[in-house]
């Protein structure tokens, strides 16, 4: 699996004022933490982060750290990305250092494939679960979980237990939970008697 690189610099300016100062300089404050390491305050170019996370995987993209001394070559994933509520620009990022041999939990989108037979018959598609929490090794994180709905008829559902997942990938949701279903046709009103 190819890793995107991210250039991090150790940062000495910490606290609210230090973070504000970094943002004013066009940098994004962040932190790297994980098993067996001391949490490390870092700074990075926000454009580098945006380009590293571009693509299907988004925040589930595995990143290789470039620079930053002892963290050089470490594999990380974005654990939390705090955004400004109005501007929607990143204001802080938390990276989690990974071991490629330890399972992690991530949030993965569900992608529907095809058109349900029940929808063609006039039913209505109900898609309540747009993403799932899964547990797997870092190298096994799927871009999305595809659900084929071509054979789905009115009154039927596809549940978590029906999903076909790669070996080693486990959904952290009850197997009876509905992913997608087709609801019946809306009742037609009878014409009013004259």
188 belongs to a structural domain:
no
Can you tell me the distance from the alpha carbon of 46 to that of 13, in angstroms, rounded to the nearest whole number? 17
Q: What angle do CA 189, 193, 194 make, to 5 degrees?
A: 140
Tokens of 158: 């596809």
Q: What is the pLDDT along the chain (194 residues), one digit of tens a residue?
A: 568 899 999 988 888 898 999 999 999 999 999 988 899 999 999 999 999 998 888 889 999 999 888 899 999 999 999 999 999 999 999 999 999 999 999 999 999 999 999 999 999 999 999 999 999 999 999 999 999 999 999 999 999 999 999 999 999 999 999 999 999 875 555 555 55
Are both 128 and 91 inside the same structural domain? no
Are both 114 and 82 inside the same structural domain? no
For residue 86, what pLDDT is reported? 94
The residue among 97, 130, 147 that closes a domain is 97
Which residues form the domain of 93? Answer: 4-97
190 belongs to a structural domain:
no
For residue 15, what pLDDT is reported? 87
Give Cα separations from 124 to 109, 143, 156 (angstroms): 21, 27, 11
When divided into structural domains, the chain yields a total of: 2
For residue 12, what pLDDT is reported? 85
111 belongs to a structural domain:
yes
The residue among 51, 75, 97 that closes a domain is 97
């Amino acid at each position: 699996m190819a890793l995107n690189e991210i250039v991090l610099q150790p940062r000495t300016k910490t606290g609210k004022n230090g973070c504000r100062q970094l943002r004013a300089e066009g940098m994004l404050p962040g932190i790297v933490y994980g098993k067996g390491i001391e949490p490390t305050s870092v700074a990075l170019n926000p454009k580098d982060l945006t380009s590293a996370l571009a693509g299907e995987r988004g925040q589930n993209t595995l990143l290789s750290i470039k620079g930053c001394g002892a963290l050089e070559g470490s594999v990380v994933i974005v654990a939390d990305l705090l955004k400004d509520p109005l501007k929607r620009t990143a204001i802080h990022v938390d990276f989690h250092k990974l071991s490629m041999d330890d399972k992690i939990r991530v949030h993965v989108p569900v992608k529907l494939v095809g058109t349900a037979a029940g929808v063609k018959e006039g039913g209505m598609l109900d898609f309540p679960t747009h993403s799932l929490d899964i547990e797997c090794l870092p190298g096994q994180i799927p871009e999305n979980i595809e659900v084929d709905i071509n054979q789905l008829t009115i009154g039927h559902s596809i549940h978590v237990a029906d999903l076909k997942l790669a070996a080693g990938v486990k959904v952290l949701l009850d197997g009876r939970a509905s992913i997608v279903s087709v609801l019946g046709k809306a009742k037609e009103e009878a014409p009013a008697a004259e």
